[in-house]
Structure 1
Amino acid sequence: MKISRKLENACRVLVQLANRYDAGGVSRVEELAQAEEVSSSFLLQILNDLRKSGLVSSKRGKFGGYQLARPPREISLGQVVEALEGGLIDVDLEVLGESGQRVVSAWQEIARHVDAKLHATTLEDMAGTASADMFYI
């Protein structure tokens, strides 16, 4: 399992949007790109994927930009992963040999735990606006 650069950058920009959520208004792509040291063009692709998934909304025009579509506490890291990657652990293994079923079962159990943790972790948690807890998987 490897976290893609796209997913990493999406999480960073979503934390920026979470921190700006209470102020209302929208954030320009250039501001977000500069704050997170991401190219504007790559960030725009990510934001469009997140918009299509209903996690962010956009406003067009001179004073346009992006904002979270819902409060940070209502958006889970699992939803972000699903929007961009479809899933983090794909357990598409063949049950072969004497140990095949045990190996597949172990990976399925791990995938369930990771998925549960992803859906339990919100943008509010990641942004640190709720508490300063560390996250362990």
Structure 2
Amino acid sequence: MISRKAKYALRAMIALTRAQERGAMMSIAEVAAAERIPKKFLEQILLDLKRQGLVASRRGKAGGYLLLKQPDSITFGEILRTIEGPIAPLPCLSRTAYRRCEDCVDESECEIRMVFSRVAEATRAVLDATTLAGAISIEIAGTSSLDHGK
């Protein structure tokens, strides 16, 4: 399960994607209101995304937040890693923060690791292939098969 912070980050990035399509920027207040995200929490999320080079802010009356990269090059995986850290159900499966499980005798024989390795690979494949632009196009096209568990 993803955290509320991660879900808010994804929603904020989708809102900024929609704004970019209109040639606009969005203020924190606008994103917070549109996506029903607490403003103070959103400020921290946008700061994390800004530090990672995903968004930029501009001051002034016509200022706000905008994406620094094209929506078709920002993946859900990149956003989640920025907010949550590694995408792995077990520390021994992390690509960026590998750690041997304390109670593991032999990783090559660990049935739990074998099953969750498949889960991790499938999850990464979806998250790293799904861009903000792709998510918006799914929404525009209607409900996807994922929405109905098919």
Tell me, yes or no, if the aligned pair for 1:124 and 1:130 is still in contact at 8 Å: no
Question: Given residue 144 of structure 2, which amino acid in structure 1 is its aligned partner?
Answer: M
Distance, in Å, in 2 between the alignment partners of 1:100 and 1:4 is: 31
Structure of higher RCO (CA pairs closer than 8 Å, 6+ residues apart): 1
Query: Does structure 1 residue 42 correspond to structure 2 residue 51?
Result: no
Q: 1:21 to 1:130 in 2, by over 3 A?
A: same
Query: Does structure 1 residue 134 correspond to structure 2 residue 133?
Result: no
| 1:116 alignment counterpart | 125
Shift of 1:61: 2.6
The two structures have a TM-score, normalised by structure 2, of: 0.79
The two structures have a TM-score, normalised by structure 1, of: 0.86
Question: Given residue 35 of structure 1, which amino acid in structure 2 is its aligned partner?
Answer: A
Give ranges in structure 2 of 5+ residues lacking alignment: 92-100
Q: Secondary structure at the match of 1:67?
A: strand
Shift of 1:88: 3.1
Give ranges in structure 1 of 5+ residues lacking alignment: none
Distance, in Å, in 2 between the alignment partners of 1:90 and 1:20 is: 34
Tell me, yes or no, if the aligned pair for 2:89 and 2:116 is still in contact at 8 Å: no
Question: Given residue 46 of structure 2, which amino acid in structure 1 is its aligned partner?
Answer: L
Distance, in Å, in 1 between the alignment partners of 2:65 and 2:105 is: 48
Tell me, yes or no, if the aligned pair for 2:77 and 2:127 is still in contact at 8 Å: yes
RMSD after superposition: 2.3
| 2:29 alignment counterpart | 30
